Amino acid sequence: MKKIVAVFLGVSMSNCVLASDGSPELKSESQAVIRNAGYQCDKVNGVFPAAFGGSVTVFCDDVYQYIIKDKGGRYTVEVND
């Protein structure tokens, strides 16, 4: 519980990334959502929830950056150029 609170506090601080790069469960679930959307993600380097919720930013393979958004219980994946 303390780790979850620390992650959200760290992400919400003004442009300072003090949080970890995501739990193994969050990385695994994010990778599955990205792959199911048809994108490549062999290794998740980090998963960072948005400060105000509703989305997570995922870094894969030291190259790709994706944004997973919750649209009413349906997840969408966007490539962040």
Give the model confidence (pLDDT) of 54-76 as tens digits: 999 999 999 999 999 999 999 99
Cα gap 10→21, rounded to integer Å: 11
**Per-residue pLDDT at 75:** 95
pLDDT of 30 > 60? The answer is: yes
**Per-residue pLDDT at 11:** 44
By the 8 A CB rule, do 80 and 65 touch?
yes
Confidence of residue 20 (pLDDT cuts 50, 70, 90): confident
What pTM did the predictor assign?
Answer: 0.73
pLDDT of 38 > 50? The answer is: yes
**Per-residue pLDDT at 81:** 81
- The domain segmentation of the chain, as residue ranges, is 21-79
Cα gap 40→75, rounded to integer Å: 16
Cα gap 28→13, rounded to integer Å: 25
